Structure 1
Amino acid sequence: MSAQNLQTLLRSRKVLAIGMPCSALERGLLDRFAAGGGELIRAPDDQSLHRCLTPPAAADDGVAVVFEPALLSTHAIDLLAAAGCRGIVWTGAEPVPAVLLQAARPHRLRFLGSRSAGFFHAAGMSCGAFPGDLPAGDLALIMQSGSIAAAAVDWAAGRGIGFSWAVTTGAECDADLADFLDLAALDPSTRAVILQLSQLRAGRKFMSAARACARLKPVVVLQSRGGGGTAPAADPVRSAAFARAGLIECETLDGLFDALSALARIPARRDMQVLTLGNGAGVCALGVDAVLRHELTPFRCSDAQLDRLRQLAPRARRLDGAVDLGPVDAPAMAQICDELLAGSSPDYLLLMHSPSIDAPHAAFVDALCAVRAQPRLVTVWLGLSTATIARQRSAAAGLATFATAGQAARALRFRWLHGRTRELLMQTPPLRRRSSVDRTSAGRLLDAALQRGAGTLEDGAAAAFLQCYGLPSPASQSFANLPHFELQLQRHRELGMVLAITAVAGPLRSNTARGFAPLDALLAQRMVESMALPASPTPDRDATLVAALLALSDIALEVPVVSGLRLCLHLPAGVGADPHRAELGAARVELERRPPSERQRLVLAPYPDALRRTLATRSGHRYQLRPVRPEDEPALVELLQRTRPDDIRLRFFASIRHFSHEMAARMSQIDYDRELVLVAEAAGEPGLCALAQLVIDPYGEDGEFAVLVHHLHAGAGLGHQLMDELLAYGRRHGLHRIHGDVLSENLAMLALARRLGFVVVAHEDPGCRRVVLDLAGRTSGDKPD
């Protein structure tokens, strides 16, 4: 059901308390409901519950909170749904019975929990362990742990930071992190997301939602150890998944607090040049050190800027990346900050202030408030006794304020990382030369092993299988004591098949780099770079490792019976980019006769190669049709640039002269679980000549289409066939309906839609029409125009 009904649940103004609370925590929750600003209805026993659910006693769009599970039956579920209830908060530690979940599903009645501490919504009420007076803001807080959520909310409230909404998902029997990430992505009142997790219920669903949300808004994540677990909190495989999805990871709770402050108070900038301003050389040095430690760029004050500063602070002196103002009064310092930030450089000003008899913190805070300091100012009030009060007053005034230079620099880095991460993820990979893979021989080797009942391929058999995928021949002698690389495919309990690579030189091992199939050459290259290897005397070392990682990615995608793989790769001096010239050492391939489903094995949707086909139109033209790849971005831009301006306006509802990398990347780097973009190539002609797009909503019910055919190929029936492909895809994936928005003047598209069975309905824009096709055979419910 994805995000279905969750917005309504969070905005509820009515709470039905089922049963009596039996712990101090639950009694506290009930008290919070009573003070939450909405309507609280108590149903302490079975009789009162049924009375509350009898119309007209019940109101629509309420939420039920279960304190006594025994009172909730399948019949009560039906009554709750009929009464307009949209969700059930399960506070207890015991799992929600499967029979209740099954009874709720047809009604789309959502369960939150078990072990949920409830939720808060700025436009609804506080229905959980959150302060009733929590200020409204534009951050969404999504956490599995109620105790960590309470700490984060308390910290934010103490600094005047508000939330659009906050929710604790608990053990996630139904509504989970992915559902709420989808909700946050679509929510116009949410600008950024704070996320905490200790387990992933459905890895592929989480990654799909995380990627969709992180493309639109910053998402900061903290992972913690699950209850009773002994594994370290920071699972490196999860960290690799977060990076692939575009999330920004915090390693500690105080780092999460810094991220909260950064997202709430500090505006985003493309560059990160930071000027440290202080009242002493020592504190300036602390600020510059923190800036460098967090990989930000110190800003050098120009001679002209320094001359202006000295008019207000005569003893100001320039240091590396900082300005020591020396003795300066509070109004002058506030004016200096204001003037420095009036221009475009520096990007941020880090104010380091140490208290003294003639320079107490309070006077400087008052001066900054008087000039309404710009949000690009980050303050650090050093000390404790007077600094605590200064930080509180700064926070109340809306200033970004921190206890140490390190915290301030870390917060600035969080602010920068989102843009940098999105930029990296949207880079266009180079075209990959598809190496010849002998899938037939590889299949025979595996079938023979499985028929013998073997669970592994060892040594020669493993090497033969790996050679089918382009990996090198076995070495003529052992190189166990020589520098080499270990490559692995292994299964993670939450995230499916994981690729890993480590450099080994005697007892020394590099950082292990991890990734997920499908890989392209750019992603594989980043894995190699993240090992932080020293410069190599071996030519084209990285290209050889990239080729090997791409081969492992192909195995993960194409061979489900491979449950694990380990090999050693040695690169003799003088090896070229051809991986066949490297040497293969010990190798082992683990097999399983009954592999898990694709969604369990692969945390990212693979390229839908089965959708490739050849189309023949009624005019006799032949076209190769296939799903788009990330490396198609240049070809997409070329198609759009040679399309007539009027056709561009009909497709994009605007006249566009320049198609940016970001725009084209959004069309070519897609999540195949949520979107389909088909491209067509005319037989005998270079380049693309058409594209068709279907975007599926987070509920998995509705799809929106768009089609563009180059004018030289219009009128031949290609658009009709592209639409047929989109409709067939939608039906196979269980969509309820498909719609598209069409300009009223686009008569050809409106006529095609009618021929395909679409109904033309009114649109809020008078110059536009919406065409709707009910794939399940139901009537649309929209009023035809």
Structure 2
Amino acid sequence: MSIRNFDKMMKPSSVALIGASPKRDSVGGVLTRNLLHRFKGPVGLVNPRHADIFGTAVVPHVGALDFIPDLAVIATPAPTVPGIVAELGGIGCKAAVVISAAFGSSAEGQALTQAMRDAARPHLLRILGPNCVGLMLPGLSLNASFAHLDPLNGPIAFLSQSGAIITSVLDWAKPRGIGFSCMVSMGEMADIDFGDMLDYLAGDPNTHSILLYVEAVTNARKFMSAARIAARSKPVIVIKAGRFAQTAKAVASHTGSLAGSDTVYDAAFRRAGMLRVFSLDELFAAAETLGNGRRIAGDRLAILTNGGGIGILATDELAAQDGKLAELSPGTQARLEAVLPPTWSHGNPVDIIGDATPERYAQAIGPLLTDPGSDVLLILNCPTAIAPSVQTAAAVIEAVRKADRPVLASWIGEQDARDARRLLAAAQIPSYETPEQAVRGFMHLVRYRRNQEILIQTPPSVPEQFVVDLPGAQAAVAAALGEGRSLLQGPEAQAILKAFAIPTVESIVATNGAEAMEAQRRIGRPVALKIRSPDISHKSDVGGVALNLDTPSDVAAALAAMREHIGRIKPEARIEGFTIEPMVGRTGAHELILGLSEDATFGPVILFGSGGVSVEVVADRAIALPPLNMALARELMARTRIHRLLQGYRDQPAADLDAIALTLVKLSQIAVDLPEVAELDINPLLADAKGVLAVDSRIRLKATSKPGASRLAIRPYPRQLEQPFPMPKGETLLLRPILPEDAPQLDTLVAHMSPQSMRMRFFSSIKELPSYIRARLTQIDYEREMALAVVSAGAPGKAEIFAVVRITADPDNDTAEFAIALRDELAGQGIGTRLMERMIAYAKDRGIRHMIGIVLMENVAMIDICRRLGFRIEYESGRPDAVRVTLDLVKETVPAS
């Protein structure tokens, strides 16, 4: 269930309070006062012990209400809640806010929570909470909470897992004039969770930005799908509590949920296109910076100031944040030279000296707003007697009124600057109290832009098509688990890597010294000797690795010393034998670590970083969620320090970055195809200009009945939908789900469509697709959307696209809207009908109940296809040029073509 009946909760016309109280300082009393205070609709009070509260009549039970409330607020002891929910559902109420506590993670609390869910489910009644402060909708003057203040109305939605944070933020925001479209205390999220709220708010026209206070995510896949959709349309800014182990434990006891690894949460937020911040001040500063809808074209900052010191402070903070200071063009410098005194700084920051008047500010702003080398202008001002703060702010506002790029401001001081900041805020110019805060505001824009680019970036084609030996890998996994073994090392781990086309060294297994010596003779050059033990995961930590052994006698001596040393420091370890591998002579190669592990919340995660024996000490690594493509793999690599070295330096050539990225893509495929792989380490993976080589690896297995794809927080490419597609002239093409790499080939499809065909498909006569539209049509969320493309042979990005049919489902998976496009030369050959049949079959399999489409009336061919497939044809309200076509999948039988 997702946003079904959300209108009853978020746009209620009537409310009932169960647990109303005349005690002013009780939860029920505060709720009663808040509901009666300003809400204009009917408010029903329920309490069996009172007939009147605060002058309003009270009924003894839910059934005695003289209206059916859209929204109920429940503030009674926890054991009574399931019964009350059942009563509410019975009279037709569709939404409830459960304030009551004492649910939690205990066995009794879990039983109560389940009973509450069971009572709500038959009636499709939605529940917010339990154990929450409540819900506030300023636009409706509704305060269905026990908060001490009414929030101001505004464009910000605030969702918080902590009730205390809700009331604290309310107390902080009101005197600052910050308003909200809604404030929602999520509580224990027994029903409605962050994913549901994000789905709703993504389409709410009164919400311009969404702020989240998160302690733990429950349904990771729903959260990721909803967050990615919301973040495409408006800023989603998140603060995550429990960043460190000490606080993570506190969070678990507070919310009844386990907080996952903070680095994994960070990767999830980035992948969803959200902006993460680390304090409440920063949360609202980011909302102010991003909330006006201004976006930046690049990441270069120009600074204008009347004080050299504050300009230096801003520059220092910019450097600390890894930001870029713009280099002013010669033309800009010349224009500034013409209007500024000779003593100006002649560079960026542009210091126009302490005697700068409002007019001088205005004269300097013009050249800076048109400078081709900058993307954002930051204007700083410290108070002087010559240039009063308010007058300077007014001049700045007028000078930037028609600016085509974002402008930020920082007016330093308190008494004089306060009014100036208020003036700037009214003009929708984000304003900060210090230069450092202003620079952090700029970096919010930069980081948000980078995260948004991840959402729309077209990945390059995979540099090589690798073939996976999945049956071989599955057989190796099954054999090990069948023997009761969970740790694979040496040749067994290498066999899994080889099955996924990851280059590895060759190794020979030896059970004793004689076999080890013979292995060295066969290899015929220096070797490495490694211990094999199910009880030793990291061999080098216990002296289980010996390198550069030139002769059989060297191997025998090293083996004896190794066995003696390990027997002394780790006597319980079972020694199953040894592996002998040729030494790899790749001088100058970089040692990397690549890994795969499973997070309790988000499922499989991919690790990349600096490898070798000092991997924990160096701690240079980054994490991403699979599935990965080449662009996402390169972005993961770029978040590490070693990435700079991999690009080459001095006489060191660049490593093969595509080979490294492709190895990460292959690890991602292992996460999808082999659900039994709980952990995988390749350390080191040697990388140089020649490519990559996995030198050592370990895999830990865990038996599972779950399909691999079901574990991922982001649904991976559904390969099972691939099938041959016979064409009318005898050739066979491939019908498969669309991929991000296909974006360039959409241009080829469009090139083979007439302006009339384009108008019937896109409802406008466009000649080509903008890059962001191409990305949106190919970077789909397979959890919510599907696009099946008829393509030629070849790798994604190179395979030609002949036709595409797509559906986009609503969050409830109830109704999906379809669209179809094909080349003009394929029209009239039955291809459109066959594609629709395939998509209808897919939609039925997904459990979608209705397929709908809007078709222009002049598109006679499409209307005819829909009629033959059993769609209802109806006029579209408000569109005299179009019809609505609807197929009820649960009733209709699709005729064969």
Q: Which residue does the alignment assign to 1:558?
A: 673
Answer yes or no: is the 8 Å Cα contact 1:457–1:588 preserved in 2.
yes
Answer yes or no: is the 8 Å Cα contact 2:217–2:601 preserved in 1.
yes
Q: Which residue does the alignment assign to 1:458?
A: 489
Alignment of 1:246-645 (within 5 A): 246-265=273-292, 267-294=294-321, 295-298=323-326, 300=328, 302-307=332-337, 309-310=339-340, 314=341, 317-328=344-355, 331-332=358-359, 335-336=362-363, 339=366, 347-356=375-384, 361=389, 364=392, 376-384=406-414, 387=417, 391=421, 395=425, 399-432=429-462, 433-471=464-502, 472-474=504-506, 476-477=527-528, 484-505=591-612, 507=614, 508-533=617-642, 534-536=644-646, 537=652, 540-571=655-686, 576-577=690-691, 579=692, 582-585=693-696, 587-596=697-706, 598=708, 601-616=711-726, 622-645=732-755
Answer yes or no: is the 8 Å Cα contact 1:499–1:516 preserved in 2.
yes
User: Aligned partners of 2:92 and 2:365: how far apart in 1?
Assistant: 57
User: Aligned partners of 2:154 and 2:343: how far apart in 1?
Assistant: 39
**Counterpart residue type for residue 485 of structure 1:** L
User: Aligned partners of 1:589 and 1:234: how far apart in 2?
Assistant: 21
* TM-score (normalised: structure 2): 0.79
Distance change (3 Å), C-alpha of 1:51 and 1:351: same
Distance change (3 Å), C-alpha of 1:292 and 1:454: closer
Distance change (3 Å), C-alpha of 1:344 and 1:80: farther
**Counterpart residue type for residue 569 of structure 1:** P
User: Aligned partners of 1:293 and 1:9: how far apart in 2?
Assistant: 45
Answer yes or no: is the 8 Å Cα contact 2:62–2:84 preserved in 1.
no
Answer yes or no: is the 8 Å Cα contact 1:738–1:775 preserved in 2.
yes
**Counterpart residue type for residue 654 of structure 1:** S
Alignment of 1:68 onto 2:77: yes
Answer yes or no: is the 8 Å Cα contact 1:90–1:111 preserved in 2.
no
Shift of 1:67: 3.4
The C-alpha deviation readout for 1:316-344, integer Å capped at 9, x for no partner, is: 61343123233447643664477568757
The C-alpha deviation readout for 1:20-60, integer Å capped at 9, x for no partner, is: 56975564444333324244322123998875644771244
Shift of 1:282: 1.4
Q: Which residue does the alignment assign to 2:203?
A: 186
User: Aligned partners of 1:368 and 1:490: how far apart in 2?
Assistant: 53
Answer yes or no: is the 8 Å Cα contact 1:680–1:690 preserved in 2.
yes
The C-alpha deviation readout for 1:564-608, integer Å capped at 9, x for no partner, is: 222323427x6612x4xx2422x3222222244556621110111
Q: Which residue does the alignment assign to 2:221?
A: 204
User: Aligned partners of 1:393 and 1:234: how far apart in 2?
Assistant: 43
Shift of 1:485: 2.3
Q: Which residue does the alignment assign to 1:756?
A: 869
Alignment of 1:90 onto 2:99: yes
**Counterpart residue type for residue 86 of structure 1:** A
Answer yes or no: is the 8 Å Cα contact 2:354–2:384 preserved in 1.
no
Shift of 1:525: 1.9
The C-alpha deviation readout for 1:677-696, integer Å capped at 9, x for no partner, is: 00013689972211100111
User: Aligned partners of 1:147 and 1:57: how far apart in 2?
Assistant: 35
Alignment of 1:134 onto 2:151: yes
**Counterpart residue type for residue 749 of structure 1:** M
Shift of 1:145: 1.9
User: Aligned partners of 2:709 and 2:734: how far apart in 1?
Assistant: 28
Shift of 1:81: 5.3
**Counterpart residue type for residue 352 of structure 1:** L
The C-alpha deviation readout for 1:67-89, integer Å capped at 9, x for no partner, is: 33344344652434534442333
User: Aligned partners of 1:611 and 1:629: how far apart in 2?
Assistant: 13
Alignment of 1:41 onto 2:44: yes
Q: Which residue does the alignment assign to 2:128?
A: 112
Answer yes or no: is the 8 Å Cα contact 2:216–2:260 preserved in 1.
no
Shift of 1:392: 5.4
Answer yes or no: is the 8 Å Cα contact 2:136–2:143 preserved in 1.
yes
> Could you tell me which of 157, 161, 174 is aligned with 1:157?
174
Shift of 1:653: 1.1
**Counterpart residue type for residue 543 of structure 1:** D
Shift of 1:366: 6.6
> Could you tell me which of 160, 169, 192 is aligned with 1:143?
160
Answer yes or no: is the 8 Å Cα contact 2:5–2:94 preserved in 1.
no
Answer yes or no: is the 8 Å Cα contact 1:55–1:83 preserved in 2.
no
Greater CA drift, 189-198 or 296-305: 296-305
User: Aligned partners of 2:228 and 2:773: how far apart in 1?
Assistant: 16
User: Aligned partners of 1:588 and 1:341: how far apart in 2?
Assistant: 56
Shift of 1:218: 1.8
Greater CA drift, 592-601 or 277-286: 592-601
Shift of 1:493: 1.1
Match of 2:477, SS state, is helix
User: Aligned partners of 1:683 and 1:599: how far apart in 2?
Assistant: 25
Q: Which residue does the alignment assign to 2:245?
A: none
Distance change (3 Å), C-alpha of 1:81 and 1:726: farther
Q: RMSD of the alignment, in Å?
A: 3.3
Q: Give structure 1 stretches of 5+ with no counterpart.
A: 780-785
Answer yes or no: is the 8 Å Cα contact 1:88–1:109 preserved in 2.
no
Distance change (3 Å), C-alpha of 1:621 and 1:717: farther
Match of 1:540, SS state, is coil
Shift of 1:240: 0.9
Alignment of 1:706 onto 2:733: no
Shift of 1:500: 0.9
**Counterpart residue type for residue 664 of structure 1:** R
Distance change (3 Å), C-alpha of 1:725 and 1:46: farther
Distance change (3 Å), C-alpha of 1:89 and 1:180: same
Shift of 1:350: 2.5
Shift of 1:703: 0.3
Distance change (3 Å), C-alpha of 1:389 and 1:466: same
User: Aligned partners of 1:663 and 1:394: how far apart in 2?
Assistant: 35
Q: Which has the larger radius of gyration?
A: 2
The C-alpha deviation readout for 1:640-672, integer Å capped at 9, x for no partner, is: 112122211111111111222211111111110
Shift of 1:617: 6.3
Distance change (3 Å), C-alpha of 1:71 and 1:42: farther
Answer yes or no: is the 8 Å Cα contact 2:593–2:685 preserved in 1.
no
Match of 2:782, SS state, is coil
Distance change (3 Å), C-alpha of 1:359 and 1:344: closer
Greater CA drift, 228-237 or 322-331: 228-237
User: Aligned partners of 1:139 and 1:342: how far apart in 2?
Assistant: 29
Distance change (3 Å), C-alpha of 1:180 and 1:270: same
Q: Which residue does the alignment assign to 2:844?
A: 731
**Counterpart residue type for residue 271 of structure 1:** G
Tell me the percent identity: 28
The C-alpha deviation readout for 1:327-376, integer Å capped at 9, x for no partner, is: 44764366447756875776544232223455554564576679897795
Q: Which residue does the alignment assign to 1:771?
A: 885
Answer yes or no: is the 8 Å Cα contact 2:8–2:94 preserved in 1.
no
Q: Which residue does the alignment assign to 2:832?
A: 719
Q: Which residue does the alignment assign to 1:32?
A: 34
Distance change (3 Å), C-alpha of 1:724 and 1:751: same
User: Aligned partners of 1:682 and 1:285: how far apart in 2?
Assistant: 58
Match of 2:528, SS state, is coil
Match of 1:188, SS state, is coil
Q: Which residue does the alignment assign to 1:783?
A: none
